[in-house]
Amino acid sequence: MFRKILALVVLVVLAACKVQAQEVTKDTVPPTPPPVVIDSTLRIINLNPYITLHVDSVLSYQLAINKDETKYYWYLKNSPVGLKINKDNGTLTFKAEKSFFMSGKLKYDVEYSVKLGVQNLADPKDRVDTSFTLVFYSTDIIMPKVKPSVAGTLVVDEGEMVSFKVQCEAGNFPIEDILFASNIPIHDFKMVKQCDDDFVWTPPFDFVKETDSAKVKILNLSFIGSSRFKVRDTAYVRIVVKDALNYPQAKKEYDLVVSNIKVYVNQLKYSFLMIDKGLRKTKSTRTTFDLTSASAALSGTILSTAGGESSQTAGKILPSVGVALVPVKEATAPNKNVEQNQASLIRNSIKRLNYMLFDYALIGEKDPAIVTKTNKLKDELKQSQMQLIDVPLEIANNMSEAELNDYFENPKVNKKYRLKK
C-alpha cells in the first residue's frame, strides 16, 4: 500500500517538472520574425484617374511616389491649356479661367486624356508613364437655340420658291434633332431634320382660295430643335402667300386663243376666195351681156342709115334685140349685192383680227397683261363670229395658208375692195 502511494507521488512530481520545463522553454526561445518585403518598382501612389473641374476653379494636387522624390523629375504630355506640373515635387496646378472656354481653347464636357510621367535622373529605365482624364464643367446654363437665316415674316407670290437655311446655336449641348410643323398642310417641300438643313418650298398657284381674305393666305412654320437631354427651342417663320397669276396656264390659254383666231382667219380667207370668185364670174357674164347689147344697138343704128329695105328693117330690129338682152342679163347673172357685202365684211374681219393679233402680242418672258390680252382676243373673236354668223364658212382643206395669203394679198383683189372717194 505504501509502495503504491509512493509511486503516485513520484508520478505527480515528474508531471509537474515536465510542465515547468515546457514553460521555461516557451519563455526563453524568441519567435521567428516575418520576412521583410522590399518595394523596388517605381509607382505613383496617389494618382486619381478621373478629375473634374468647375469653371473658374483652381486645382493644386500633390502627386507622390514610393521612392525618394529628390532623385526623380515629373513631366506632362498633350496637356490642355493652363495645366502645369512642378517637375521637382509633382504638384499639378491649373486655373480653369472662363476666357479659355469663350475663346474655344477648352470645351465643356470633353474628356481630355493627359499623359503623366516620372523618371529617375540617374537611370532612364527607372520611369513610369500613366495617364488620367480631365473634364471641365459649368453650372452656367446656355440654352441651345434654333435660328433660321430669314427674318420673322416673308411675303411671296404663288409659284415663287421659298428657300432658307435653319441654323442653330449649340449652347451647353448641341441641338441634335429638328422637328417641323405648320398650321396648314403643305406638300412637295424639303424636310429639315438637322441644323444647317435648307427648307425649300414653292407655293402652288391654287394655294390661295377665292374665299381667303385680301387674296392672301398666312402660313406659320415651326422648327422645334431638341438636344440629347430633351432641352427644346422653337423658331417661327411666318410666310404670307399672295394670290398670283398661273403664268404657264395663262400662256397655254393665250396660245389656244391665238391658234383659234388663226384657224378662223384661214376659214374666212377661203370663204372670201370662194365668194370673190363667184363675184368675178358674175361680173364677166354681165359685161358680156352689156357688150352684146351695145353692139346690137350700134349695129341697128348703122344699118338703119344704110341703103336697102332689108338693112333698114334689120336696123330697126337690132336695138330691140339689145333692149331684150337686158332682162336676160338680169335673169342669167343678177347683181350679187349680198355676196359683195359679205366679201367686204369678211375682208374687214380678217384685217381686224390680224391687227388684234399684232396689237395684243406678248412682250417679254412674262407679260403682266397676258390675261387682259387674252380676254381682248377672245372678245374680238366672238364679235367677228357673231357678225359673220350668216356667212357660210368653207373649211380650207385643199389650200395651204400660203396660197390663201397670196390670194388675199393680191394687188388686183386689194384694188377691187379698196375704199373709193
Fold of 145-244: Immunoglobulin-like (2.60.40)
pLDDT value at 18 more than 80: no
pLDDT value at 103 more than 60: yes
For residues 181 and 219, is the Cβ–Cβ distance under 8 A?
no
Could you state, in order of their start, the residue ranges of all structural domains in the chain?
A: 50-137, 145-244, 248-416
Q: Round the average pLDDT of the chain to a whole number and report it.
A: 76
pLDDT value at 238 more than 90: yes
pLDDT value at 358 more than 80: yes
Q: What are phi and psi of 364, to 5 degrees?
A: 80, 180
- Please tell me which residue, 335 or 90, carries the higher pLDDT value: 90
Q: Which one is the CATH code of 248-416: 1.20.1270, 2.40.50, 2.60.120, 1.10.3470?
A: 1.20.1270
Helix, coil or strand: residue 122: coil
Query: What would the pLDDT profile of 63-102 be if each residue is shown by its tens digit?
Result: 888 888 888 988 998 888 888 898 888 899 988 788 888 8
pLDDT value at 24 more than 50: no
Q: What mean pLDDT do residues 409-415 have?
A: 61
Q: How far apart are CA 249 and CA 242, in angstroms?
A: 18
Q: How far apart are CA 29 and CA 23, in angstroms?
A: 10
Amino acid letter, residue 286: R
CATH class of 50-137: mainly beta
Verdict on whether the full-model pTM lies above 0.95 = no
Q: What are phi and psi of 295, to 5 degrees?
A: -65, -40
Q: What are phi and psi of 340, to 5 degrees?
A: -65, -45
Q: How far is CA 91 from the centre of its chain?
A: 60
| CA-closest candidate to residue 283, choices 328, 335, 327 | 335
Q: What mean pLDDT do residues 96-115 have?
A: 85
For residues 258 and 381, is the Cβ–Cβ distance under 8 A?
no
pLDDT value at 258 more than 80: yes
Judge whether 145-244 and 248-416 match in fold: no
For residues 74 and 90, is the Cβ–Cβ distance under 8 A?
yes
The cell numbers describing 150, all together, are 430669314
Q: What mean pLDDT do residues 179-186 have?
A: 91
Q: What is the DSSP letter of 44?
A: B
Q: What is the pLDDT of residue 312?
A: 47
The cell numbers describing 50, all together, are 478621373
Least confident of 91-105, 276-290, 391-405: 276-290
Q: At what angle do helices 247-304 and 370-387 cross, to 10 degrees?
A: 30
The cell numbers describing 114, all together, are 493627359
Amino acid letter, residue 292: T
